[in-house]
Structure 1
């Protein structure tokens, strides 16, 4: 059965990383194998800056950024291929020329359309180089344009997949002819041929789309960490790896802000019970983490999630009336319109409390709107702690010395809001 591998920008950030990728793939001889690749390193950020420069006019800033992008990719080619750069250099130069042409053509169009027609070149460039290097290393490959495989609507920057059309386009990629299929993450295309992008975590989603349509055996996402953890290792000094959790548990963790796999990636895999494994490309012997159907291990280890720079709003009707369904509908509708997500929602007879990410450009208009019709109390610079599968002793230990400003709890999840000043530095998970 087909395996789908996904490699992010960190795993191909330069020529040395691409060599390591080739060495890794040489160890996996099973076919069929589909490899989904992101843009190199911070290329997407560079393309977004190039986009803004193009929309302001093709001045020196635009030309300098385009030339930097060209030089960086050609430097990787030269480092990999030495004097044998000819065909690969020609393909990279052709892509840079086409990127420049598209900026000229689309700079006057709406930004989301312009974005999708140009930012996609990061993945096209990276896969061109990676595919050529795998061939150089003795592995037969087939380069595929994801814009011709993943069919979407024209909702640019957050395109929706046409699953039936996509399944028809990818049919046959699971035949075993000895070649590795190399394609791009994050991008797709409309039936009319316009480029689209898939939004947040789009490359992981691309891998899931292809796996779903091919009835793959497994998806492996290769990262610079060995797997998934029960807390952010940068904030918790004794975070533990979760070697196995269920789709549902992973979705819960992602919903509450954990840096795991985005729910839209898990959905297509869960539908067909395709496991997702997270492995380290730096240490192939490290035990991986697997997300699948098995729920037996979900409650064995509590998981902790910190979300900082939070704002707590306590909203009350001005006429001292109940916070009934109609008022909650009105308030939450405004939240949706503002494009904000509430990490905590708690209600009482005469109040509704919301803990929100502090995005000023979205938060301030929302607060102004609510203040016009409700009495609003506000606290800024807060930290939201979410704990899955906690007992009372753990919650008491985590809250010691901290002032709880809001709290919500159900059978599986406990949430508390603390002043940010009381939550700095490294945390320790009590035994």
Structure 2
């Protein structure tokens, strides 16, 4: 059965990384295998800066940035192929020239459209180089243009998939000839052929789209960590790796701020019961973590999510009336308009408390809007701790010595809001 692998930018950041990728893939001779690849390293950031320059007046800055992008990719080609670099160099040069042409053609168009027509070249460049290298080292490879497979609407920078048409195109692929397929993450196209991008975590999402349409056996997301952890190892000194959790548990963790797989990636896999495994591209023998349909292992260990730079808003009607459904509907509607997510919501008879990211560009207009119609108390400099599957002893230990400013608890989840100044730089999960 078909497998789908996804590699992010860190795994192909330079020539040495691409060589390592080739050695890794040599351990997986089974076919069909579809490999989804992101842009190299920080290329998307460089393309966004190039986009800004293209839409500005400083042509020298634009030319310098374009030349830097070109030079970085050609240096990788030279390091990989040496004296045989000619054909790959020509393909890279052609892509950079086409990128330049599109910048000039679309500089006066609305930014989201311009963004999608140009930022997609990061993935086109990376897959061109990687596909050629895999061929070079003896892996028969076919390069596929994801824009001819993933069909979307024209909501640029956050396009929605046309599942019926996409499935027809993907299922029309002949994968039985033993070749490895390399394609791009993050990008698609409208039925008219205009490039689109899939928004946050778009490359993971591409892997899930293809797996769903191909009814793949498994999706493997290769990262620079060995799997999924019950807490951020950078902040918790005794975090442990999950062996297996369910789709629903992974979505809960993501909702509460964990940097696990995005829910939009999990949804098409859950529909077809296709497991997703996270593995390390640095340590092939590491066992990895699996997200699948069964919930047998959910709650084996508690999970911890920290959200810092939080603000607590306590909102009350000015007429001392109830905080009824109509008022809650109004307030939460304004939250949606502001593009903010409430990590904690707690309601009382005459108040609604919201814990929000302290994102000035989004938070300040929301606060101004609410103050026009409600009484609003505000507290900044907070940390929200969410714990999945805790017991009472664990929660007592975590809260010891800290003032709890707000809390919420149900059968599976507890949330506590603390002053950040009372929180340690490194947490230790009580035994």
CA distance in 2, matches of 1:422, 1:111: 43
TM-score normalised according to structure 2 size = 0.99
SS in 1 for 2:57: coil
Q: Distance in 2 between matches of 1:74 and 1:275?
A: 37
1:69 matched to 2:69: yes
Indicate how the Cα distance of structure 1 residues 174 and 247 shifts in structure 2: closer, same or farther if over 3 A, else same. Answer: farther
Cα separation, 2, equivalents of 1:424 and 1:339: 30
1:334 aligns with 2:334: yes
Distance, in Å, in 2 between the alignment partners of 1:423 and 1:118 is: 43
Task: Note the residue ranges of structure 1 that are not aligned, 5 or more in a row.
Answer: none
Q: String of CA shifts for 1:41-99, please: whole Å, max 9, x gaps.
A: 00000000110011103511111110000000000000000111100000000000000
Counterpart of 2:218?
218
- What is the aligned partner in structure 1 of residue 282 from structure 2? 282
- 1:91-130 to 2 correspondence within 5 Å? 91-130=91-130
Partner of 1:206: 206
Counting only pairs closer than 5 Å after superposition, residues 73-222 of structure 1 correspond to structure 2 as 73-173=73-173, 175-222=175-222
Distance 1:58 1:366 in 2: 35
Q: Distance in 2 between matches of 1:76 and 1:402?
A: 51
The residue number in structure 2 matching 1:358 is: 358
Give the 3-state SS of the residue equivalent to 1:398 in structure 2.
helix
Contact 1:173 1:181 survives alignment (8 Å): no
Secondary structure of the residue aligned to 2:372 is helix
User: Does 2:268 align with 1:268?
Assistant: yes
Describe the superposition over 1:308-330 as per-residue Cα deviations: whole angstroms up to 9, x where unpaired: 00000000001111000000000
Q: How does 1:416-431 map to 2 (within 5 A)?
A: 416-431=416-431
Superposition pairs for residues 395-406 of structure 1, below 5 Å?
Answer: 395-406=395-406
Deviation readout 1:205-259 (Å, 9 max, x if unpaired): 0000000000000000000000000000000000000010000000000011100
The 1-side partners of 2:177 and 2:401 are apart by 63
1:226-241 aligned at under 5 Å gives the runs 226-241=226-241
Is contact 1:247–1:292 with CA below 8 Å preserved after alignment?
Answer: yes
- State whether residues 174 and 214 of structure 1, in contact with CA within 8 Å, keep that contact through their aligned partners in structure 2: no
Deviation at 1:423, TM superposition (A): 1.4
**Displacement, 1:299?**
1.0
Structure 1 residue 173 displacement after superposition? 3.3
Q: Take 1:20 and 1:412, find their aligned partners in 2: how far apart are those partners?
A: 42
**Residues 174 and 217 of structure 1: is their aligned pair in 2 closer, same or farther, counting only changes over 3 Å?**
farther
Over aligned residue pairs, what C-alpha RMSD do you find?
0.7
Q: 1:57 to 1:169 in 2, by over 3 A?
A: farther
Q: Could you list the per-position Cα deviations for residues 375-402 of structure 1 after superposition, in whole angstroms to 9, with x for gaps in the alignment?
A: 1000111000000001111111111111
The structural deviation recorded for 1:302 is 0.2
Counterpart of 1:389 in structure 2 is 389
Between 56-65 and 44-53, the greater mean CA deviation after superposition: 56-65
Ranges of 4+ aligned residues in structure 1 off by more than 4 Å: none
Q: TM-score, normalised by structure 1?
A: 0.99
Equivalent position of 2:36 in the other structure: 36
Partner of 1:18: 18
1:407 aligns with 2:407: yes
Residue of structure 2 equivalent to 1:257: 257
Q: Does structure 2 conserve the Cα–Cα contact (< 8 Å) formed by 1:342 and 1:356? A: yes
> 1 CA distance for matches of 2:139 and 2:389?
46
Q: For the residues of structure 1 that align with 2:352 and 2:333, how far apart are their CA atoms?
A: 13
Cα displacement (A) at 1:175: 2.6
Q: CA deviation at 1:174?
A: 5.9
C-alpha distance after superposition, 1:326-353 (max 9, x if no partner): 0000000000000110001010000000
C-alpha separation in 2, matches of 1:173 and 1:421: 56
Q: Aligned equivalents of 1:190 and 1:46: distance in 2?
A: 25
Shift of 1:176: 2.0
